[in-house]
Structure 1
Amino acid sequence: MMSAGRGFDQYSGSSPYHLHGQQVLVYQVVVVVVVVVVVVVVVVVVVVVVVVVVVVVVVVVEVVVVVVEVVVVVVVVVVD
């Protein structure tokens, strides 16, 4: 009789590579946990980047305000 392929029993329809229900469940749980961890890490990284950008913008605005105040004071002193 001709073989249907390596590792496959054409009479029983089973394969040594076939996963049982419990193995499939374990793999599904592992995949879900990995996906959740990746999503949480991505969200945390995005939040940290947004916070850093906001802090940098606030600091730059404060520096600009201080520079403008100093320029105004110098101009007022020079004009008087």
Structure 2
Amino acid sequence: MCSSSSTFSCSSSIKVVGVIAVEVVIIAVIVVIVVEVVVVVVEVVVVVVVVVVVVVVVVVVVVVVVEVVVVVVVVKKKSIFI
């Protein structure tokens, strides 16, 4: 690839290849960091959605229990008066 008469061009091409390799590694590291950040954001969103779903389910269960208790109390009071 490099002859003895073109030592300068050979060393400069090696430097260019080295710089390109370093840039590729830096870009790869940046891509990995961005992917990790996206994964963390997605995990946080999933956790928030799960928490919201659990809260909604708990609220629905509490409302249903309160309605059942109210119906039972009303039915018992009416049956006492009958």
TM-based fold match above 0.5:
yes
Partner of 1:26, secondary structure, is helix
Matched residue, 1:28:
21
Which residue of 45, 56, 65 corresponds with 1:63? 56
Provide the alpha-carbon RMSD of the alignment: 2.0
Identity of aligned residues (%): 66
Q: Distance in 2 between matches of 1:33 and 1:56?
A: 35
Aligned equivalents of 1:60, 1:26: Cα separation in 2 = 51
- TM-score normalised by the chain length of structure 2: 0.73
Alpha-carbon shift at residue 22 of structure 1 (Å): 1.1
Aligned residues: 67
Larger radius of gyration: 2
CA apart distance, 1:70 = 0.4
Larger helix percent: 2
Unaligned runs of 5+ in 1: 1-7
State the secondary structure of the residue aligned to 1:20: helix
Counterpart mapping for 1:5-44 below 5 A: 12=3, 20-44=13-37
Q: Structure 1 runs of 4+ off > 2 angstroms?
A: none
Unaligned segments of structure 2, at least 5 residues: 74-82
Q: Shift of the alpha carbon at 1:44? A: 0.5
